[in-house]
Structure formats: C-alpha cells, structure tokens
C-alpha cells in the first residue's frame, strides 16, 4: 500500500523539475515532423506550440536576423513556416540541468539537436547548447527566454 | 589439469567471490578511465583535415591541461554542447594576443606564423582582434572552405576539456 501510494503521488503530483522537463518534451514532439504528417496534425501542432511560450519570448542567437522578442502567435507562425520547408524534422534535448534561481523561475541549460531533411532533399544536423528561462504562469511553465550559447566568437 | 579444461576454465570460469571481485574491479577501472579520463570519441566533419579525418576515432585525454595551459599549436577538444559534443580545433593564439588572417596567412601580433599542418589553399581575410582574458583562439586545419562556413574563434579556456591522444 505504501509503495502504491508513493507511485500514485509521483505520477499525479510530479516535481517542478519533472514539469519543466515535460515542457521540453512537448516542444520536441510538436516541433518534430515525420514524413507521414497530415495537414490536420500540422495545424494542431502549430496551434499547440504557441501555448508553450510566454506572451513574449526573447530569442538570442548568433544570427542577428533571428534574435529578438517574439509573441506566441509569431512563434507559431514562424515554426509553421519553417516546418513547411522540411519533409522531416527531429528536435531532441539532452543533458538538461535545471535550477530554480527564484520562485516560479526555472533556468535550464541543455543540448539541443535538430536533424532532418529539407523539401529540396538537403540534410540538416545542428547541435547547440541552449540556456532557457521559464516562468510559471497560471500553474504552467512557459518559455520566457532562449539563448543559444556562443562557444566560438569570431 | 589438461589443456582442454584450462581453456574451458578460461572461457567459462567458475563464479567464485574472487572472480566477481576481479570482474567488478576491471569494470570499475574501465568506467573511470574511459568514462572520465580518456574518453573515446569519433570525428565528424572535415574542419581538421588533413590532420584528422572524418570518421576517425581518437581519445580525449582530460588531464592534458591539468598543470599547463593550452598553447599554439596544440590541438584541443572544446566542449561545444552538453558533455558529449566537442569541437576538435587547433590553438592559434592565447589571451592578450592579436590575431588576424591576411590572404590566407595567420598573423599573431602582426607576425606571420608558419603553419605546416595547413595543407590546403586558403584565402581567408579577417581583421585583427584581441583574444580576451581567460580565452584562446582556435581554428581548424582545413581552411579550404569559405571563412563563413568554418567554425572557429575565441573560446573560453574553461571549455577546453583536454586534447586528443594522437
């Protein structure tokens, strides 16, 4: 009974760390695209992706044209547009290190690997270290800031 | 004990306490050595050609810079993402030095540096820049590709995890 109680508690009342990891898992699932994906799934994923982000999310990359602050709607639109240029896409996260510097703020350092194939048949394989900031709003962890770590500065 | 039983004993040893301790010790030492000190890695990409080839296998010796600093022309492994993705690059300048490329030639503090390991033609041009404190400047040996397509630049020394064994 005690073991059963512990299992139920872990399943139905996950720790904040697990809740944060779950958001990354959802982002991975919703960004990824299989060759058999139909239009309905695509639209649903596009709509769902926006719900993972705060009203405004700051993106900092080594491509100045991509860096900036984006609204949920803009993120959904941009991700949808990017996904339309690929026939297959896989986004995976590794080595998640989560700290909570303040109440309801999570800082995550992780490795992101994006692989896939463009509609023109070009192969993609990009791995980067990311630093993300998530804020808990209405019991949901939402992405507030994503920084691509610049390891080599030309 | 005849030869047959000796061979049999070698391949199918009796599970004794001594045997289990020996196996556990070997496994533990192998894990510590290959998991933390001398990490095997495979090379993906052509940025270090012809010194290191795409698909090659090597080991990263993590104690290489325990008592010394990376210096020109060492090849170092720079932690790129997480603990598993590393970049293999050559150190061309240290902190405080001014580095630039002029018509494919490497200049450090205005002086041309001979680079026998660069075998392919290079026409890179990069304005001078000073390497910041606690940093090194790393470049691949293959400079035949356009400068925009080559991963190189200043890296924090804290990201240097070691050097290749050979």
- Bond prior to B124 in cis (omega within 30° of 0): no
- Mind telling me how many Å the CA of A127 is from chain B's nearest CA? 7
- Mind telling me how many Å the CA of A90 is from chain B's nearest CA? 17
Does B63 share its domain with B99? yes
Q: What range does the domain containing B114 cover?
A: 43-164
Does B125 share its domain with B140? yes
- Cβ-defined contact of B82 to A95 (cutoff 8 Å): yes
The arithmetic mean of pLDDT across residues B136-154, rounded, is 94
- Does A149 reach chain B within 8 Å, measured CB to CB? yes
Q: How far apart are CA B105 and CA B103, in angstroms?
A: 6
Does B47 share its domain with B122? yes
Return all residues near B20 (Cβ < 8 A) that are at least 6 apart.
Answer: none
Does B92 share its domain with B149? yes
Q: What is the CATH number of the domain that holds B71?
A: 2.10.109.10
Q: How far apart are CA B47 and CA B56, in angstroms?
A: 13
The arithmetic mean of pLDDT across residues B21-47, rounded, is 95
For residue B1, the model assigns a pLDDT of: 55
Of B82, B126, B138, the CB nearest to A129: B82
Does B84 share its domain with B148? yes
The CATH class, in words, for A12-148 is: alpha beta
Q: What is the pTM of this model?
A: 0.81
Locate the domains of chain A by residue range: 12-148
- The predicted complex's ipTM stands at 0.80
CB pairs under 8 A between A and B: 42
What's phi and psi for A73, nearest 5 deg?
-65, -40
Q: How far apart are CA A27 and CA A12, in angstroms?
A: 21
Q: How many domains does chain B have?
A: 2
Does B105 share its domain with B78? yes
For residue B3, the model assigns a pLDDT of: 78
Does B48 share its domain with B110? yes
Q: How far apart are CA A76 and CA A43, in angstroms?
A: 10
Of A112, A149, A154, the CB nearest to B152: A154
Contacts 24+ apart (CB under 8 A), A42-45: A42/A80, A42/A83, A45/A83
| Nearest C-alpha neighbor of A31 from the set A139, A108, A116 | A116
Is residue B24 very low, low, confident or very high in pLDDT (cuts 50, 70, 90)?
A: very high
């Amino acid at each position: 009974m005690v073991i059963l109680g512990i299992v139920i508690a872990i399943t139905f009342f996950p720790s904040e760390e697990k809740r944060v990891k779950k958001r990354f898992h959802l982002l991975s699932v919703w960004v990824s695209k299989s060759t058999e994906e139909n239009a309905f799934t695509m639209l649903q994923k596009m709509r769902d992706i926006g719900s993972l982000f705060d009203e405004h999310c700051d993106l900092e990359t080594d491509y100045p044209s991509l860096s900036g602050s984006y609204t949920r709607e803009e993120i959904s639109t941009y991700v949808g547009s990017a996904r339309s240029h690929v026939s297959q896409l896989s986004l995976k996260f590794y080595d998640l290190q989560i700290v909570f510097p303040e109440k309801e703020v999570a800082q995550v350092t992780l490795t992101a690997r994006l692989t896939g194939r463009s509609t023109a048949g070009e192969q993609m394989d990009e791995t980067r270290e990311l630093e993300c900031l998530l804020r808990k709003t209405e019991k949901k962890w939402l992405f507030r800031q994503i920084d691509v770590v610049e390891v080599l500065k030309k | 004990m005849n030869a047959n039983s000796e061979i049999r004993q070698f391949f199918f040893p009796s599970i004794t306490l001594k045997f289990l301790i020996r196996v556990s010790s070997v496994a533990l030492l192998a894990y510590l050595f290959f998991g933390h000190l001398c990490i095997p890695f495979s090379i993906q990409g052509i940025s270090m050609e012809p010194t290191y080839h795409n698909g090659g296998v090597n080991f990263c010796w993590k104690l290489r810079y325990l008592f010394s600093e990376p210096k020109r022309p060492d090849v170092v492994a720079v932690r790129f993402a997480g603990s598993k993705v590393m970049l293999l690059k050559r150190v061309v300048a240290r902190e405080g030095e001014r580095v630039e490329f002029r018509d494919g030639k490497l200049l450090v503090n205005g002086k041309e540096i001979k680079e026998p390991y660069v075998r392919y033609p290079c026409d890179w041009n990069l304005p001078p820049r000073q390497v910041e404190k606690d940093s090194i400047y790393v470049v691949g040996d293959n400079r035949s590709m356009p400068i925009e397509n080559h991963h190189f630049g200043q890296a924090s020394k804290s990201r240097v995890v070691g050097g290749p064994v050979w």
